[in-house]
Structures are given as C-alpha cells and as structure tokens.
Amino acid sequence: MSDDATPRPYRSYVYAYPHKTAYRRLPERPELAALWRDEPKDALSLYAHIPFCEVRCGFCNLFTRIGAPDELTARYLDALDRQAAAVREALGESDPVRFATAAFGGGTPTFLTAAELERLCDIAERRTGVDLRAVPLSVETSPATATADRLAVLAGRGATRLSIGVQSFVEAEARAAVRPQRRADVESALGRIRDTGVPVLNIDLIYGIDGQTEETWRSSLDAALAWRPEELYLYPLYVRPLTGLGRISPGADRAWDERRLRLYRYGRDHLLSHGYEQVSMRMFRRADAAPLGPDDHACQTDGMIGLGCGARSYTSALHYSFDYAVDMREIRSIIDAYTETADFSRAEVGRWVDAGEARRRHLLQSLLQAGGMPLAEYEERFGSSPFADFAEELDRFEALGWLDGEAPGGLLRLSPEGLAHSDGVGPELFSPSVRAAMAAYEPK
C-alpha cells in the first residue's frame, strides 16, 4: 500500500499485469509447446508489434526506434514470419485453435510500406491461421504514415478499427510534447482514414501538456469531435525516465496531478455531453456507433499470442516476451538480436503467474473498466470472494469514495471519482512480489 493518505492519481498506466518491468530472464527457457499444451485455444487474441516510428514523441516510452536503415523492416518481417511459424507449431493440432481478435500495434505499424503491410497480413493469416476478415482487427497509425496506399491495404485486408495518435490539434502543444506536426496534415490524414470506410475511427488525445488550458483542451476535443470518431482515448501525459521529456522536464508534483485531474474531468464531461459513453478512464465510445463485430475474447482468462520483439504472450501460468528497454541504443540492440533469432520455440523473458496473481489480475483488469466486475464471475472462477481476498484494498477504496455504492447488486464497480483515479487504483492492487521486482528493475 502507498504511505500517502490518498494514492497519487497518476502513478502508473496499468494496461497489463504483471507489468513488464517485473519480467526477468527465464533460466529454464520453457518450450512454448509445453506452455500451451493444456491451455484453452478457442478464443485467442493475436497481437503483432511493429517497433518503428518516423519520429519519437517526447512522452513516449514504448518499445520503438526511429527509422529502419539497411532493409531492417524486411529482416524484421522475416523474423516475425519465423516466430509466427514456431508459435503455430507450438499451439499444436490436438485442440481447435481459433483467434477471436487481432491487432497490429507498435511503434507505428503504418511505418511499413503498403507492400510490407500486405506481407504482415499474410504472415498473420498463413502462419497463425487467423482470418483477419472475420474478426475485429485494430491497427495503429500516425498522421505522417496514414497514406492512401497503406490505408487501402488495411481496409482491404479486413481492418475494422484504425487508431490515430493525434495527441493535440494545437500546434504549440504538439511542439511542447516534442511531437512536431501541422494541424493541416492531421486533418488530411483523418480525411484519408474516413475515406477507407473502415467502421471505427479512434483518435488519441493527451491532457496535461505544458501550457495546455481548459480552453485549448476543449479546442482539441472539438476538433476531434468534428470527425465524429466512434472512439476517443484521453491519455494523461506522463514524464518517464529516458524519454525526451524525461530528460528536460521535472517529475510530477501534486499541482500537476490536480491540473491533469481537472483537465480529465473537463474532457470526460465534454464527451459525455456529446453522446459518448465512458468505457474506462481513457476510453470513450460514441453511443450510436456500430458494434465492432463478434469478439468473445476475455482478457482476464483467454490467452494472447504476441508476435514481435515488443509483444507479450499470455498463458494462464506464464506471461512472456523479449527483453524490454526505453533507451534508443538498447532498443536497437534488442531489435537487431530479434532479427537474427532462428529458434523461437522457447520463452526467454517473462514472469510466472500463480493463483494469487491470477486473482489480482482478474480483479484489476475488471475493476478498471467502467462496467465493473460481476461478483459471480469472480466467485465461479476462484471459489472465493474478492472482499475476502482483497479486504484491505477494497476497504481502502471504499473509504476513499472510489467504489460505487449505488452499483446494482452483485456488481463491484468504481465510482466516477474512482475511475478518475484508475492510475492510482491499479498500482494499489499490485502484489508485494511484483512491486519488489518493479522496484529492482534498472531502466535501460
């Protein structure tokens, strides 16, 4: 638990648990075939990671590098092909293998050329067996790389969602976030995305940028709303070690926390008043948007296949990936090592997940959604109550006003203020061993 009376609202963006900084080298290097042998494989998620960008934003701590000299993208796709073949072999033939959802992220997948994107789709389909036209397929892009030829490939191969990182429509704010871009170029890219007919457009925006006010924040929100995106993600700005901003900006303080909370509440209320529904602290979806399509993958219980050197894979017992870094030199070294790998049949870096961690992960990933967690779902899976398993944490959340006392019976749900503090709620649920591993991690 935090020693503060109230945990700080922006401690960590929890998009997966355990966090990757808790992963370590696996001395036993377990075989993938053994890891997946007894796993359910009828509703898998596929994620392909493309670790290249045309520019690195000042706030970015993602596993990505700028540019790709000496045909690096071709060599990377060669390695991705080898990895995909090894993974499919490890999944075996004794049980049905079906993918329920797919995504290409990064980095910026559309850093690849149109021909390379075709090859990426071929690898996903021919090697793993996913039918990209039959499942929800989400792809990330950027204003500079959302070209007509690339977008046409993605639309033709079945993309159902295109997500573009705009961050701010105010050019001065984009420069302050070390993301130089012209608004005219952003608007042109949005127009090209809409021209594809892909059913879901998502726009990412960031609040908390130096110099940002409620007025400029509203101007970005309204500029995004003019495109009537089916989804909007509102991200708080973080200043992290080894990033561009991390080298020139001071760390977070309470005043910045309060400013980000104020801008978050303003953005949330503005979107709710314009016909959007809140899905999580970050995600808002237009109430009249068409469904994404069939998707029976549940992140709490179903497995994930990650392809690429920055992707994670999840079984019930082990979360695994490759080495992780933020510093550009370290990232280049890891990517180079990945492209030279011939044998992808074993897990190299990861963290074992026992029954206690599985409980934490289920609670955390459910509670951070606006819809909350059905108690019966938890009790059926674990044979216990979250109020018994996490009495101290839930009592504290209740005392802070973070639990919704008006939630329907049988539903554990955050209050609006609890949802606002999601980045404080999540870390409070980390286990002592995960906290210790994260604290011992040396950023590189």
Alpha-carbon distances of 309 from 269, 304, 330, rounded to whole Å: 38, 15, 13
CB atoms within 10 A of CB 370: 17
Q: What is the pLDDT of residue 248?
A: 40
What whole-number distance in Å separates Cα of residue 418 and Cα of residue 400? 8
Instruction: Kindly give, in sequence order, each residue whose CB lies less than 8 Å from that of residue 155, ignoring residues fewer than 6 positions away.
Output: 196, 197, 198
Q: Are 30 and 346 in contact (CB under 8 A)?
A: yes
> What is the helix (H) or strand (E) element at residue 153, kind and residue range?
helix 148-156
Q: What is the pLDDT of residue 233?
A: 97
Alpha-carbon distances of 272 from 201, 225, 275, 276, 404, rounded to whole Å: 18, 12, 6, 5, 19
Crossing angle of helices 148-156 and 183-196, in 10° steps, is 30
The answer on pLDDT for 411 being more than 50 is: yes
What is the four-CA torsion angle of 150, 156, 160, 166, rounded to 10 degrees? Answer: 10
Q: What is the pLDDT of residue 300?
A: 81
The answer on pLDDT for 153 being more than 70 is: yes
Average confidence (pLDDT) over 50-56: 78
Q: What is the pLDDT of residue 226?
A: 98
The answer on pLDDT for 246 being more than 80 is: no
- Classify residue 180 by burial, with Cβ atoms within 10 Å: 0-12, 13-18, 19+: exposed
Per-residue pLDDT reduced to its tens digit, 78-97: 999 999 999 999 999 988 99
What whole-number distance in Å separates Cα of residue 429 and Cα of residue 394? 9
What whole-number distance in Å separates Cα of residue 215 and Cα of residue 263? 10
Residue 231 main-chain phi, psi, to 5 deg: -135, 150
Residue 103 main-chain phi, psi, to 5 deg: -155, 145
For 54-63, 330-339, 384-393, 398-407, which range has the lowest pLDDT when averaged over its residues?
54-63
The answer on pLDDT for 298 being more than 50 is: yes
The answer on pLDDT for 203 being more than 50 is: yes
DSSP result, 244-280: HHHHHS----HHHHHHHHHHHHHHHHHHHHTTEEESB
Q: Are 86 and 345 in contact (CB under 8 A)?
A: yes
The better pLDDT of the pair 241, 228 is held by: 228
Q: Are 198 and 155 in contact (CB under 8 A)?
A: yes
* Among 312, 310, 340, 314, CA closest to 325: 310
Residues, the chain, total? 444
Q: What is the pLDDT of residue 12?
A: 84
Alpha helices by DSSP H, listed for 340-431, are 355-367, 375-382, 386-389, 391-399, 416-420, 422-428
Confidence label for 294 from pLDDT (cuts 50, 70 and 90):
low
Q: State CA 234 to chain mean position distance.
A: 13
The answer on pLDDT for 64 being more than 80 is: no
